[in-house]
Amino acid sequence: MEHLLEIAYLIGSFGFIVGLKMMGQPDSARKGNLVAAFGMAVAVIGTLFLDKNGFHVIGNLGYILAAILLGTVVGTLMAKRVQMTAMPEMVSLFNGMGGLAAALISIIEWQHVETGIALGKFIPIIAGLIIGTVSFVGSMVAWGKLNGKIGDFRFPGQQYINAVVLILIITASVFTFQAADLGGGHESMTQFYITMAIAVVYGLLFVFPIGGADMPVVISLLNSFTGVAAACGGFLYDNNVMLMGGVLVGSAGTILTVVMCKAMNRSLTNVLIGMVGSGGSSSGSTSSGGSVREFQATDVAIMMKYASKVIIVPGYGLAVAQAQHVCHELENMLVAEGVDVKYAIHPVAGRMPGHMNVLLAESNVEYDKLIEMEHINPEFTTTDVVLVVGANDVVNPAAKNDPASPIYGMPILDVDQSKQIVVLKRSMKSGYAGIENDLFFDPKCGMLFGDAKDSLQKLVNELKSV
């Protein structure tokens, strides 16, 4: 009986690891979520009803179960009702709640600190407070920026100010430890809350300047912050499953952040001091003064029907128009005509990592047709038609050709190497980075203006009649 809790935590940890592994492949990601959820359920039940001596009901069980029930109902309703375009916002919101929970744990535990606190206990408390607070505040700002309620806020030298604020956080933490060591937790509450206040400031300054296509980097990093904050709680309570879950989330988020930085040609150091999206001028990329061709749906349908290979490049506009299902229908019709159809997935297309993968999986697109950037780029030279649906910055040649462009150096999809390019857009309005796309003026490129869903439906109808 005395080992039941350890067994429950072992099952929970195993569920986390296996679930995370399964999430690495699109065709097993849904099952991976269920496996991880099962592991979490076992860990929670073990915490509530077991201790190191066997069966034991935790205190305040009624309040805990009521909170779990409320969270389950709210979370289920939000997940069921959220539109795919709002998925990044929901991810930021939920991630922020995790950071807030970690910060609250530190605040509550600090109330019980006595004189002469050990450094081994102080570090997880203060780290959980700082990282959890930054994650919560930063995620809320990211949520506001993603839904358009908060704009970019920058001023000269902001990255240096962010570095100074980080130093102030460390300094305040040292004073907090000294105050606790001398007078106990109650006497050091002022220093403790000063540290938290500075962390709030850093959370704001860290995310406020983020703009352009850099938001997926920040979402990944904030996710890793929440994991590290949760791991601090695991250290604090000597809870192995909490520690394991936090470490997995933190490490996975960090690895994903590095991948996103590489995809954006940014350094992680610059992300940490708030330089993401702050380099260059928004007006750095200008067109060559060429004219824009406009296609009709009939022309595009004929072009694709008699092509040997077509690559579809999905972007945020596809999600906005909720056009993933009709896009899949178009793909099926082309395949029936003997056309080789693939999807080119840029790592930061959309507003969060994997946004396009999730969107297309929702419409049952075969997973092996979703090709990552490094694997699809060599194929553009042998592609007859590229259909760009709502993507902008990730196909902009200025990233390769214009040193003055704010996205210069960012790896992009080499659609300009294909034989013909068709871009589905509502208008000539710039993308999320706020710069003009040189691709639109390429002689091989033509625009099919209109709502992406309506335009794709027109292509489907034209293909039926061709």
Active-site entry in 214, 393, 414, 438: 393
Is the pLDDT reported for residue 189 higher than 60?
A: yes
Quick one: which of 222, 206, 220, 214 has its CA closest to 265? 214
Give the confidence band of 404 by pLDDT, cuts at 50, 70, 90. Answer: confident
Pairing verdict, β 340-345 and 309-314: parallel
Residues 6+ away with beta carbon under 8 Å from 290: 441, 442, 443
R_g (Cα) of the chain, nearest Å: 25
Q: Domain extents for the chain?
A: 1-81, 86-279, 293-465
Average pLDDT over residues 405-424: 88
Classified as helix, coil or strand, 436 is coil
Amino acid at 380: F
Please give the pLDDT value at position 279.
41
Q: For residue 146, how many C-alpha atoms fall within 13 Å in the half-sphere facing its CB?
A: 26
Region of residue 388 (left: phi > 0; alpha: psi -120 to 50; beta: else): beta
The domain 293-465 having CATH identifier 3.40.50.1220: the answer here is yes
pTM for the structure as a whole: 0.79
Q: Which two tokens stand for residue 249?
A: 């989330």
Q: Taking the CB of residue 66, how many other CB atoms lie within 10 A of it?
A: 11
- Name the residue with tokens 């954006």: 264
pLDDT at residue 155 above 90? no
pLDDT of residue 433 exceeding 60:
no
Give me the mean pLDDT over the 111-133 stretch.
87
User: In percent, how much of the chain has pLDDT > 70?
Assistant: 89
Q: Which sign does the torsion angle of CA 296, 299, 302, 307 carry?
A: negative
Q: How far apart are CA 374 and CA 411, in angstroms?
A: 9
Do 327 and 389 touch, CB atoms closer than 8 A?
Answer: yes
Strands (E), 190-324: 293-294, 309-314
**Neighbouring-strand partners of residue 380:** none
Lowest-confidence pick of 32-41, 179-188, 241-250, 455-464: 179-188
**Is the predicted pLDDT of residue 277 greater than 80, yes or no?**
no
The helix/strand/coil state of 345 is: strand
- pLDDT for the residue numbered 282: 38
Tell which residue, 396, 390, 376, 399, has the closest CA to residue 442: 396
Range among 13-27, 60-74, 105-119 with highest mean pLDDT value: 60-74
Handedness of CA 31, 37, 42, 45 (dihedral sign): negative
Q: Are strands 54-55 and 50-51 parallel, antiparallel or unpaired?
A: antiparallel
Q: How confident is the model at residue 194 (pLDDT cuts 50, 70, 90)?
A: very high
Whole-number Å distance between alpha carbons of 118 and 277: 41
pLDDT at 200: 96
pLDDT at 34: 94
- Residues comprising the chain, all counted: 466
Whether 382 shows a pLDDT value over 90: the answer reads yes
Task: Of 152, 166, 277, give the one whose Cα is nearest residue 217.
Answer: 277
Query: At 215, is the pLDDT very low, low, confident or very high (cuts 50, 70, 90)?
Result: confident
102-106, 321-325, 413-417: which has the minimum mean pLDDT?
A: 321-325
Q: Has residue 103 got a pLDDT over 50?
A: yes
Name residue, tokens 């928004």: 282
Bridge-based pairing of strands 309-314 and 293-294 is unpaired
Mean pLDDT value across residues 436-441: 87
The pLDDT of residue 183? 60
Kind plus residue range of the DSSP H or E element containing 421: strand 420-425
Average pLDDT over residues 335-354: 87
SS3 342: strand
Neighbours of 69 (CB within 10 A): 10
Beta strands in 252-317 (DSSP E): 293-294, 309-314
- The three-class DSSP label of residue 95 is helix
The DSSP line for 31-54 is HHHHHHHHHHHHHHHHHHHEETTE
393 is catalytic: yes
